[in-house]
Structure 1
Amino acid sequence: MDFKNEKPIYQQIVDYVCERIAAGQWAEEERIPSVRDLATQLQVNPNTVMRAYERLQMSEVIANTRGVGYFVSAGAKQQVTALKRAAFFETALPELFTAMQTLGISWDEVETCYRRQRGE
């Protein structure tokens, strides 16, 4: 995994886990890699993975069963979608609006591009 400087590593790990869940690579109620295993796989400090897992637990995306490990929560895919939508409306969309205004891009141009992208 290539980490980017503009976002904390633990947050990038949260995104990594969420992407796996959203893509169906990690199914609901399935065991996920332990903190140490994921830290080794991603070549990061286990404390960083622990922080990401704690954040995911608070969002009810994963759950910890003591002595057994971490599991994808039931309903996690839906929760991940809700979190990603909220992030889109809070971050990406305002950035888009700012760029549109700065570059003088109209809604008609965006709609045309959107339709082209969808193959309409």
Structure 2
Amino acid sequence: MEFKESQAIYLQIADYICDQVLLHNWKAEERIPSVRELAVQLEVNPNTVMRTCELLQQQEIIYNKRGIGYFISPDATKKIKLFRKDAFISNELPRFFRNIYLLDIELDELKPHFEKYKKSNFR
């Protein structure tokens, strides 16, 4: 995983974990890799992964079974989507709308591009 300097590493790891859930690689009630396993896999300090897990626990996306590890919450997908939709609508959509307005792009022009993107990236 390549980390961006513009965002804290523990937040990028949280995004990675959430992506795994949304892509159905990690399912509800499944155990996720241990803190140490993730730290080795992502080449980061275990304390950074632990900070990520604490954040995701607070958001009720994962939960801890003492002595066993972290598991994906039953409604994690729903919570991730709600959180990300709100963030997208607040942070990214205004810039997107501004650009399509300035470039005089009609929304129906975007649909074929979106369909092509979905096919090439998610299948």
TM-score by length of 1: 0.87
What amino acid is the match of 1:78? K
Q: Any idea what SS the aligned residue of 1:71 has?
A: strand
5 Å-filtered alignment, 1:54-69, equals: 54-69=54-69
Report the Cα distance in structure 1 between the residues aligned to 2:70 and 2:17, rounded to whole angstroms: 12
Indicate the percent of aligned positions where both proteins have the same amino acid.
43
- Give the aligned length: 115
Shift of 1:34: 1.0
Report the Cα distance in structure 2 between the residues aligned to 1:97 and 1:111, rounded to whole angstroms: 10
Alignment-derived partner of residue 105 in structure 1: 103
Report the Cα distance in structure 1 between the residues aligned to 2:59 and 2:88, rounded to whole angstroms: 17
Shift of 1:5: 1.2
TM-score by length of 2: 0.85
Indicate how the Cα distance of structure 1 residues 9 and 110 shifts in structure 2: closer, same or farther if over 3 A, else same: farther
Indicate which of 103, 110, 113 corresponds to 1:114. Answer: 110
Report the Cα distance in structure 2 between the residues aligned to 1:66 and 1:27, rounded to whole angstroms: 19
Report the Cα distance in structure 1 between the residues aligned to 2:32 and 2:19, rounded to whole angstroms: 13
Report the Cα distance in structure 1 between the residues aligned to 2:26 and 2:111, rounded to whole angstroms: 32
Alignment-derived partner of residue 85 in structure 1: 85
- Ranges in structure 2 where 5+ consecutive residues have no aligned partner: 116-123
Indicate how the Cα distance of structure 1 residues 89 and 53 shifts in structure 2: closer, same or farther if over 3 A, else same: same
Over the aligned positions, Cα root-mean-square deviation in angstroms equals 1.6
Q: Any idea what SS the aligned residue of 1:25 has?
A: coil
5 Å-filtered alignment, 1:1-120, equals: 1-100=1-100, 104-106=102-104, 109-118=105-114
Report the Cα distance in structure 2 between the residues aligned to 1:52 and 1:93, rounded to whole angstroms: 26
What amino acid is the match of 1:67? G
Q: Any idea what SS the aligned residue of 1:63 has?
A: strand
- Ranges in structure 1 where 5+ consecutive residues have no aligned partner: none
Shift of 1:84: 1.4
Runs of 4+ aligned structure 1 residues displaced above 3 Å come to 97-101
